[in-house]
Structure 1
Amino acid sequence: MDIAAGAREIDHSTRVFRFAPSPNGELHLGHAYSALLNHRLARENHARFLLRLEDIDLARCSHAYEEQIVEDLHFLKVDWDETRRRQSDHFDVYAKGLDVLRETGLCYRGFMTRGEIRRFAELRVEETGDLWPRDPDGSPLYPGLDRRQPAEEQDRRARDGESFAWRIDVAAAVERTGPLEWEEWGRGPDGESGRVVAKPAEWGDFILARRDVPTSYHLAVVVDDAIQGVTDVVRGRDLFYATSAHRLLQDLLGLPAPRYHHHDLILAEDGRKLSKSARDTSIRSLREAGLQRADIVRMLGLEGVV
């Protein structure tokens, strides 16, 4: 399958929105805000609205959580227009996307674990006194020590059972694509809007797939958005910086770029981002406490909007 050929050409006169939670925990107020906002924008614009389950993490995601998500969305009166899509049903499609990227010569196997990356960064700080660069999520960038390792040596190490992740040589990829940008009709963390310059180098050589899972969040989401013809990606501001990585992959794969709207986050009382582990903000717990849809809409400040 040609990934680009399988993508639906974006027609902004026929808009498509989507809500894409991971079924690895219960929906919380932040998810409710995003689902309700997407649904309202889709209905106002006579657009299609899709539900996608981003469940590539098979160890943490479950059918029970998926069904809970569906139940909570029905409670919120959020409906969708097509059969829900599970990413775990499409690993073959993502594997083909990975093959396309590998054929560019821009990918390599990275054998360092998270712990090894962290220790490498700490040693460099001790040796030089300079801070090791970190990605927008705060993780140290991959050192890329195996970036120039011959393919034969990488193959041998993989055959010997060493754990690895497929990574992209971002510097070489950016040199190939040239400058990239996206259309932002929401607002970034620093007030960015309009045409935003993508900065994929901030992520370093990010992961495309792992040895046992032929995709990553970054790869799966751009392939899915293209195949489903998504025109408008409306999601939390915590994913604003990830858009730079997504624009890089879209360009390399020959995929269309949606418009993006990054909305405000619903935060806990202490100012932290809501977590699925904090059950007191889950939609299920609020329902069990007797709250109705109108109560949740009021808590989210969406009265008169949805």
Structure 2
Amino acid sequence: MGGNQTQIKFILLGITDSPHAQTPLFVFFLLPYIVTLVGNVGIITLVRVSPSLHTPMYFFLTQFAFTDICYSTVISPRMLADLLSEDKTISFTACMMQFFTFAFFAAIECHLLAMMAYDRHVAICQPLLYVTIISSRVCWQLVASSYLFAFLSAIVYTWCVFGGSFCGPNRIDHFFCDVVPVLKLMCSDTHSSEMVIFALFTINDVGTIVVILLSYISIIRTVLRMCSAQSRARAFHTCSSHLMAVSLFFGTAFFMYLQPPSSHRNLDKVASIIYTVVAPMLNPFIYSLRNKEVKGALKRFQKIHCICLCL
């Protein structure tokens, strides 16, 4: 990436080229972003102020909520600004940094989903050893290692996407700087870059989904051996929220990235909206509305808040 390369400016074509749809879409996407911020900040705050939620499960949940905030903020503000602006140009450096941070937080999200599955596996399959295996130190080590691996992965991703030559059209047919639309603008051979990206994506996403699958296979085997139907129902209910989040995130990610670039269609933008806008908004509701401990902590917090206001 030489000096001339960094002078390139791209144009983000956005979600639609219809001028009449820009303002309605701005309102339509502003609400999910606000809900994402409020919901995830609420989850983090509730876990911090509720001693009953100071467990590894909710430690990982706060990390997940923080990642959702960052992950969404990388994409949504720029997308919202472009919907109201006629100038949709983005510099080479800004485009590269947007992609880097997007890849960084997306990789962390994958690892956190795997950690949360492993946490549930230990809690259900080895409850007597849970405190020893999933200690506070282990939690921090797992999160730190995911940040380190995500950082290194994002560097490789970014080099593969922006390390070639751009000498043709500069119009990115997307609402952010993503892998496929940027690679389409490169005039140098992208085959080796695509292979590296595919391999790294396989390690990050397929590797973490394997951890999740193995954890849930072990969980299902353990739950089916339980004598009490109530215990089985409680165990499955504990895992249901995580499974919904996994399905939402990995389903759209696999659709986007585990297919050849030539087969990508207009549905890519819809899939991108789901995992960059919709998923971060829904996750707080998935984990709070289906979780008795979170709802109980929220009720206690509301009572304390009401008492303080009365005083």
TM-score normalised per structure 1: 0.24
Higher strand proportion: 1
Higher helix proportion: 2
TM-score normalised per structure 2: 0.24
User: Which structure would you say has the larger Rg?
Assistant: 2
